[in-house]
Structure formats: C-alpha cells, structure tokens
C-alpha cells in the first residue's frame, strides 16, 4: 500500500513541473522579469528581426505595436510603442516580454510567443509548436534592442 502511494506521489510530482518548464517550448531560466540567456542558444539577427516584426506571416508585431520611423503603413496601438526599446529594457527583459509576457502580467493581452503548454483548445494547425520559434524571437530581440528600432 505504502509503495503504491509512494509511486503515485512520484508520478504527481513529475507531472507538476515548476511553472517555467511547464509553459515554455524549451528549458528557460527566468530571473525576475528577464530571460538572460538566448533561447536554445540561438544568435539573433536584427535585419531578420525587422522582417519578423512586420511580416503578416511571422510575428506581425506591428499589428499592435508602433515604432516611430518604421516605414510601414498602419501600425497598431493596442500595445505600447516600442521606439528605442533598447534604451529602456535589457535584451533579457525584451526576450521575456516576447516569450512569456503572461508570466509577468497574468492579465495582459500580449500573447506568450514561446509558450507551448497549458493553453486552451489550440487550433490543430498550431498544436505542438510555440507561436514563434526561438530563432524568430532572438531576431526580434536583436532588432528591438538595436538603435534602428
């Protein structure tokens, strides 16, 4: 009886991973409101990041966010403007806000683009993958921290 219960407890403990691993698409270390290390060790490219930011089929961040000087028609204002974001936030903070904003602010409208688990009724074509890949997020971080943004 005790062995059975011991096994049951181990199974429960294994299933209840700490919140970070449970949510993200890969192992991520959160320090305060930042993810200090790059996701999956990828190196970001600012030029690609600009494309991820504006492309309808990628991040399409411009749907909700505006950047002054960005040569793109109709930029959204649901989220705050991201002009010169690198002046206000570290790369790690920017990374966290894209990958898992809901961990910092549970009520936010900002989707968590690197989240894979604990979601409700994800569309079948999107199941199993986060909304953005680690590379796309690193590219965004590079672009948003650069002086060009």
Q: Which of 27, 32, 47, 76 lies at the binding interface for other proteins (CB under 8 A)?
A: 76
- Tell me which residues in 89-108 interact with other proteins (CB under 8 A): 102, 106-107
Q: CB-based contacts of 52: which residues, under 8 Å, 6+ apart?
A: 58, 59, 61, 132, 136, 139, 140, 143
Are the C-beta atoms of 91 and 141 separated by less than 8 Å?
yes
Q: Which of 70, 122, 141, 144 lies at the binding interface for other proteins (CB under 8 A)?
A: 122
Pairing mode, if any, of strands 30-31 and 34-35? antiparallel
Tokens representing residue 8 in the block: 């049951």
Q: CB-based contacts of 144: which residues, under 8 Å, 6+ apart?
A: 49, 53, 82, 85, 86, 94
User: Taking the complex as a whole, how short is the minimal distance between the CB of residue 70 and other proteins, in angstroms?
Assistant: 12
- Contact map string, positions 10 to 49, toward other proteins, x by CB under 8 A: --xx-xx---------------------------------
User: Taking the complex as a whole, how short is the minimal distance between the CB of residue 43 and other proteins, in angstroms?
Assistant: 26
Q: Which residues bind other proteins (CB under 8 A)?
A: 1-2, 5-6, 8-9, 12-13, 15-16, 62-64, 73-78, 102, 106-107, 109, 111-112, 115, 118-124, 126, 130-131
């Amino acid at each position: 009886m005790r062995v059975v219960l011991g096994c049951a407890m181990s199974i429960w403990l294994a299933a209840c991973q700490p919140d970070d691993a449970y949510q993200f698409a890969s192992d991520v270390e959160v320090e305060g409101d930042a993810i200090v290390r790059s996701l999956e060790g990828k190196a970001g490219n600012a030029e690609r990041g600009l494309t991820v930011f504006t492309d309808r089929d990628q991040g399409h961040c411009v749907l909700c966010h505006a950047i002054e000087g960005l040569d793109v028609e109709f930029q959204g204002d649901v989220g705050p403007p991201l002009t010169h974001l690198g002046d206000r936030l570290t790369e790690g903070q920017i990374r966290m806000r894209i990958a898992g904003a809901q961990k910092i602010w549970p009520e936010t409208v900002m989707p968590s683009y690197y989240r894979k688990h604990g979601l409700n009724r994800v569309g079948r074509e999107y199941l199993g993958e986060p909304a953005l890949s680690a590379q796309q997020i690193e590219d965004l971080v590079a672009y948003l921290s650069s002086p060009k943004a």
